[in-house]
């Protein structure tokens, strides 16, 4: 049996590699769209929520908001493709296993050898399972790489987008005690905060700054001084008025310049006072640049939990913004993918065992496509949604972005039992089948 098993592995090596590379490419490439979709969620959302699109989206994700987290995005885009491609590959490869021996008449060679039909069957079956397991591992690796490349590296501003950002500002303004107590604030990091706010304001406003005529080169010369000690900056400006006059176009008198500097300084001192004192007033500063503050607490699970709980933002916010993705959720989702491919492989063997002289490929691919459409169409139409439970695609839990995503043992059991039934039935049929060559 080992002999046969090894031969099947060798014989299917190329199609296996083809499938693995294809799936990995689909997964990784699709993830590159994540930052674009996620950071423009505000723009896309009304479109997605229109009645027509809503039904389509429902077919793919449990909740539109899911698109915002790297995992939810993965399950929506890459997941949809890889489930389909993986299933077609699994059923195509397995239904070919027995059929090709009959069609190419090599069965006459194989069956004249001292092997039991059961051994032939399981030698082939195991080789398919091993290849599918390798694809499972490959898909796990590809999806981790894909997510890590875009999700893992994504700045908080990407993660903190759309509904999450609006929820945050809403909850912060509702909160009575203010959020200052969660963050470390002192003379030293005030400079960094100011810098962060400035760069956040400048980002995306480059055109406007240019049209006013502000000399950015001059400004960037002054910035290091601002970060080091803002107080010194104003003293420096007062003593070097010509440095200021070049920044903004137009002729200003010395008095006007001093006045402007002092005005800014007063504003600045007030801001610093608020920053250091905290209290409700601080919330305004927080909302001016939440990424700056949230990045302070993102690495501490206790602080994160405390913060989201105090503002009652919920687990999804925490998952989206801080955790980005849970590798175990990703593996579990891919494990469902694996179970699905194993089930379709078993179905493929069954179709191939009962199909006689007719090619099983058409039926096999048809089965996958019909079950896939059954799942998606019934998801889109809420009235008949339950009918989709008959499709194994539905048993893949795609609510992967949820923090409470955990194995659904009933579905896993269903996958395993059905795979077993189809495999057993296929083997029984094959054992007593006349092989006409």
Partner 1 sequence: MKSIYVENVTKNYGNKRGVDGITLHAEKGETVGFIGPNGAGKSTTIHLILNLIFPDSGKITINGIDAISKGSLVRKIIGYAPSEVNYYGSMKVSELLDYSLKFYDKKKLVPGRGKILRYCGALDLDCSRRIGDLSLGNKKKLALVQSLAHDPEILILDEPTNGLDPLVKKTLFELLHEESERGKTIFFSSHSMVDVQELCERVVFIKEGKIIDEGARSFALRKKMKNVTVKLSREMGDFFEENKHVSNLKKNGHGKVYEYVFLYTGEIGELVRSMDFNYLEDINIEEASLEEIFMHHYK
Binding site for partner 1 (CB under 8 A): 3, 7, 11, 104-109, 111-116, 119, 432, 434-437
Which of residues 220 and 432 has its CB atom nearest to partner 1 in the complex?
432
Which of residues 115 and 214 has its CB atom nearest to partner 1 in the complex?
115
Which of residues 113 and 208 has its CB atom nearest to partner 1 in the complex?
113
% helix / strand / coil in the chain, to the nearest 5? 80, 0, 20
Which of residues 6 and 36 has its CB atom nearest to partner 1 in the complex?
6
- Least Å distance, CB 33 to partner 1, is 39
- ∠ Cα 30 33 38 (to 5°): 130
- Least Å distance, CB 110 to partner 1, is 9
- Least Å distance, CB 107 to partner 1, is 7
Q: What is the DSSP string of 254-318?
A: HHHHHHHHHHHHHHHHHHHHHHHH-STTHHHHHHH-HHHHHHHHTT-HHHHHHHHHHTT--HHHH
Which of residues 93 and 160 has its CB atom nearest to partner 1 in the complex?
93
| Cα-based distances in Å from 7 to 123, 164, 345 | 9, 53, 18
- Least Å distance, CB 8 to partner 1, is 11
| Residue 394 to residue 375: CA distance in whole angstroms | 6
| Residue 359 to residue 436: CA distance in whole angstroms | 14
- Least Å distance, CB 91 to partner 1, is 23
Q: What is the DSSP string of 303-371?
A: HHHHHHHHTT--HHHHIIIII---HHHHHHHHHHHHHHHHHHHHHHHHHHHH-TTS-SHHHHHHHHHHH
Q: For 229, phi and psi rounded to 5 degrees?
A: -155, 105
Which of residues 104 and 259 has its CB atom nearest to partner 1 in the complex?
104
- Least Å distance, CB 393 to partner 1, is 34
């Amino acid at each position: 049996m080992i002999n046969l098993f090894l031969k099947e592995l060798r014989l299917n090596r190329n199609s296996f590699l083809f499938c693995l590379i294809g799936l990995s490419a689909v997964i990784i490439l699709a993830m590159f769209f994540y930052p674009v979709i996620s950071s423009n969620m505000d723009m896309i959302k009304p479109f997605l929520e229109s009645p027509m699109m809503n039904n389509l989206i429902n077919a793919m994700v449990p909740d539109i908001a899911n698109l915002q987290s790297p995992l939810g995005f993965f399950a929506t885009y890459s997941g949809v493709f890889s489930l389909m491609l993986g299933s077609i590959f699994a059923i195509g490869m397995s239904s070919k296993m027995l059929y090709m021996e009959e069609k190419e008449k090599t069965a006459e060679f194989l069956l004249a050898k001292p092997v039991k039909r059961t051994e032939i069957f399981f030698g082939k079956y195991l080789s398919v399972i091993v290849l599918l397991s390798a694809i499972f591992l490959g898909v796990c690796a590809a999806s981790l790489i894909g997510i890590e490349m875009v999700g893992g590296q994504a700045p908080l501003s990407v993660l903190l987008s759309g509904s999450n950002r609006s929820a945050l500002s809403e909850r912060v303004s509702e909160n009575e005690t203010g959020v200052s107590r969660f963050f470390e604030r002192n003379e030293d990091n005030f400079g960094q905060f100011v810098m962060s706010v400035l760069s956040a304001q400048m980002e995306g406003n480059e055109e406007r700054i240019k049209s006013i005529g502000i000399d950015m080169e001059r400004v960037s010369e002054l910035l290091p001084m601002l970060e080091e000690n803002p107080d010194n900056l104003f003293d420096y400006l007062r003593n070097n008025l010509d440095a200021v006059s070049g920044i903004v176009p137009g002729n200003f008198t010395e008095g006007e310049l001093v006045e402007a500097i002092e005005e800014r300084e007063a504003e600045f001192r007030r801001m610093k006072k608020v920053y250091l004192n905290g209290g409700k007033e601080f919330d305004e500063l927080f909302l001016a640049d939440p990424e700056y503050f949230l990045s302070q607490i993102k690495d501490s699970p206790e602080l994160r939990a405390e913060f989201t709980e105090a503002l009652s933002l919920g687990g999804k916010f925490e998952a989206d913004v801080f955790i980005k993705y849970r590798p175990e959720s990703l593996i579990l989702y891919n494990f469902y993918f694996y179970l699905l491919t194993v089930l379709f492989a078993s179905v493929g063997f069954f179709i191939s065992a009962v199909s006689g002289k007719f090619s099983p490929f058409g039926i096999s691919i048809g089965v996958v496509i019909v079950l896939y459409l059954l799942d998606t169409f019934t998801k889109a139409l809420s009235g008949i949604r339950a009918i989709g439970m008959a499709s194994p695609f539905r048993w893949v839990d795609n609510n992967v972005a949820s923090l409470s995503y955990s194995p659904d043992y009933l579905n896993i059991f269903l996958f395993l039992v059905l795979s077993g039934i189809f495999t057993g039935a296929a083997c029984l049929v094959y054992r007593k089948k006349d092989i006409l060559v």
